[in-house]
Chains A and B, each alone.
Chain A
Amino acid sequence: MMEIVFALAVGILTASGVWLLLRPRTFQVIIGLSLLSYAVNLFIFGMGRLRVGAPPVLENPEAVDPALYADPLPQALVLTAIVISFATTALFLVVLLASRGLTGTDHVDGRDDPR
């Protein structure tokens, strides 16, 4: 059950992200990128296999059974990925505002459709 909910969450986030990414307004693009990065972060987390109630840190170094523990590496990776995608999204937001100010439109091409 947990796996289905998790997979659906990743799938819906990715699908909405891709759809928004292909829209013509810069704000939609940035929201799309954010949704995509949430989906990717969840996916990274899932790559450590889904476990409930398993600690990621080894407590007893003598008799270790890895099956009792969650994989800590994807959790570390996801932290890095969150920080990096947050920072780059913030940077993108600045460029978006600069583009809005310079071109006077929020179209991704910097000009509105000729229609």
Chain B
Amino acid sequence: MTGLLDHLIVVPILLPLVSGAVMLLLDERRRGLKGGIGAAATMALLVVAIALLRQADMMPAGSSVRTYQLGNWSAPFGIVLVLDRLSALMLVLTSALGIAALLYSLARWHRAGPRFHTLFQLQLMGLNGAFLTGDLFNLFVFFEVLLTASYGLVLHGDGTARVRAGLAYIAINLVASLLFLIGACLTYGVTGTLNMADFARRIPALAPGDAALFAAAAAILGTAFLMKAGAWPLNFWLPTTYAAASAPAAAIFAVMSKLGVYVILRLWTLVFGPGAGSLAGFGGEGLLVGGMLTIVFGTIGILASQTLSRLAGCSVLVSSGTLIAAIGTGSGAVIGATLFYLVSSTLGIAALFLLVELVERIRDPGADVLAVTMEAYGEGDDESLAEEIGIAIPATITILGGSFIACALLLAGLPPLSGFVGKFAIMATMLKADGPAVQASTWAMIGLLTVSGLATLIAMTRSGISSFWARMHDGVPRVRVIEMAPVLALLLLCLGLTVGGGPAMRYMEATAQALQAPQDYVTGVLAAPRLGSAAGEARP
């Protein structure tokens, strides 16, 4: 149990924290150095996350979690980090998106405002911490870390639109944080614990009055998480904010909204599983209906979008809605398919956010240069304009168009990319879970998935035609390799997810099975011995 490898779990939190702190000490003008540190740290983060994923995948069936006791106090009293398949998967997704967004920002966005790299690393730290933590109050703290960093990133680049969107974004997230606090402390008042595994153990023994209070607390917590995930009717802020944010920030926000979905999946399967007595399955219908309404709202938003960035923002809603509704069905096989869809749609949406800015350069090449000079401020202005635009890569339009088509296929869920596999797997597993008598809600869900795909396809085709075929200017947009490469890498990841669909799906199914059997998680967290103590000393 001892050895350096055991400390690997805490690295995804410490590494961005340290690199972010180091970059604070550097002068704002040394952007090259900062970019280098940021890229190196994020790359190392990806390596660590993949190593953790392999560790999580190789754990035997009965013990699906690894814990890390901060301060070496055992679980319900001390603070623990918990690694299982789900959190490892989210870590890999976060760091993969992180490296793509960071490389993209090196082309020009990191010059558009102060302390971009520090904020970016702190955002990664908050995300990783929230995915790893095993107790509710630390989840709140990590939420605040990532939200505070995201406030900075929303405003990165300045401008009236960003400040206006940022104001609403901050206000709504402060309210959500207060709801989170109320819910977390109400659960503490009822159960006397903040550890998620300990909740699961104490729920069945609650008195009826306390159970009602716990249900209220869970509903308040759920509201807070659904606000972050962007569920209707708490999501009017989301498309505006994401469309206003700079491209790399929006790409990393794509995984931030999945954090709300992650927490719901984690807590709901853990606390309201079949073992929860009278509270088993609490709120499942709410999730299902709320998710479906979110899909409807997002679909209408996609069709009504005038700009590509707003379209991408509404795709986040459709993706969140699909995930929430599929989780609400509560069946293990559906959750496995949902996780596949989560990874594929997050990668696709992030690629689209990065791509949107490049595509918009086609529409008006002059505006881009103007925007850059307006956005960049401080001492960095002495770079010449020619350097700012950079070397154009050949066949730009072809590559941009190809990537755009790939994004459209991914988001609409058409073959041959992974969006199709994810949506198809959700539909197939839902039908299979119902057996011969298919429920009305399943038909409704299948219909909504199909219609939202069709709407995405229509909207993407429409804006593709106006951007690529009916463009006003003959000039080729100047796109740098470092801006194009992350988009292509994300799309290639999706392609890899299709080609390696079998192993990926096997991993997701193992994850879903582990989520369906929360006893393993509970015993794994609570019975973990302290470092340096013999296993027999651990609490029974």
Contact = CB atoms under 8 A, between A and B. Distances in A.
Interface of A: 21, 26, 29, 33, 36-37, 40, 43-44, 47-49, 73-74, 77, 80-81, 84-85, 87-89, 91-92, 95-96, 98-99, 102-103, 108-110
Contacts of B171: 21, 29, 33, 92, 108
Contact of B148 (A37, A47, A80, A91): A91
Interface string B128-165: 00000000010001001001100100010001100110
A91 B168 contact: no
Contact of B151 (A91, A109, A110): A91
B185 interface: yes
Determine which residue in B170, B186, B194 has the highest number of CB atoms from chain A within 10 A of its CB, and name it: B170
B160 A102 contact: yes
Contacts of A36: 175, 178
Chain B contact-residue range equals 20 to 34
Given A73-B188, A88-B148, A91-B170, A110 B164 contact: yes
Interface in B181-216: 181-182, 185-186, 188-189, 194
B178 A84 contact: no
Contacts of A73: 188, 194
Given A44-B181, A81-B181, A99 B167 contact: yes
A37 B180 CA distance: 12
B170 A103 contact: no
A11 to B, nearest CB: 13
A99 B185 contact: no
A49 B190 CA distance: 11
Query: Would you list the 9 A-B pairs with minimal beta carbon distance, nearest first?
Result: A47-B189, A110-B164, A44-B185, A47-B185, A102-B160, A99-B163, A40-B178, A84-B144, A40-B181
Given A37-B178, A110-B164, A95 B151 contact: yes
A92 B170 contact: yes
Nearest to A89: B174
Determine which residue in B155, B159, B160, B168 has the highest number of CB atoms from chain A within 10 A of its CB, and name it: B160
Contacts of A84: 141, 144, 177
A74 B188 contact: yes
B413 interface: no
Given A77-B188, A91-B148, A98-B163, 9 more contacts: A73-B188, A74-B188, A80-B141, A85-B178, A99-B163, A102-B159, A102-B164, A108-B168, A109-B164
23 contacts: A21-B171, A33-B171, A33-B178, A40-B178, A43-B185, A47-B185, A47-B186, A47-B188, A47-B189, A73-B188, A80-B137, A80-B141, A81-B181, A84-B141, A84-B177, A85-B178, A95-B167, A95-B170, A96-B167, A99-B163, A103-B163, A103-B164, A108-B168
A88 B186 contact: no
A74 B185 contact: yes
Contact of B167 (A47, A80, A89, A108): A108
A95 B175 contact: no
Nearest to B166: A95
A26 B91 CA distance: 37
A33 B170 CA distance: 11
Contacts of A33: 171, 174-175, 178
Contact of B163 (A49, A81, A95): A95
Contacts of B168: 108
A43 B164 CA distance: 32
B152 to A, nearest CB: 8
B258 to A, nearest CB: 22
Nearest to A110: B164
A106 to B, nearest CB: 11
A32 to B, nearest CB: 9
Contacts of B177: 84-85, 88
B216 to A, nearest CB: 13
A22 B159 CA distance: 25
A81 B148 CA distance: 14
Given A40-B181, A40-B182, A44-B181, A102 B163 contact: yes
A108 to B, nearest CB: 7
A88 B144 contact: yes
Contacts of A98: 155, 163
Contacts of A43: 182, 185
Contacts of A49: 189
A88 B151 CA distance: 10
Nearest to A97: B163
Contacts of A92: 170-171, 174
Contact of A77 (B137, B144, B151): B137
Determine which residue in B159, B174, B188 has the highest number of CB atoms from chain A within 10 A of its CB, and name it: B174
Contacts of A77: 137, 185, 188
Contacts of B151: 88, 91, 95
A70 to B, nearest CB: 14
A36 B159 CA distance: 30
A20 to B, nearest CB: 12
A85 B176 CA distance: 12
A21 to B, nearest CB: 7
Nearest to B189: A47
Contacts of A95: 151, 155, 163, 166-167, 170
A108 B137 CA distance: 31
A97 to B, nearest CB: 10
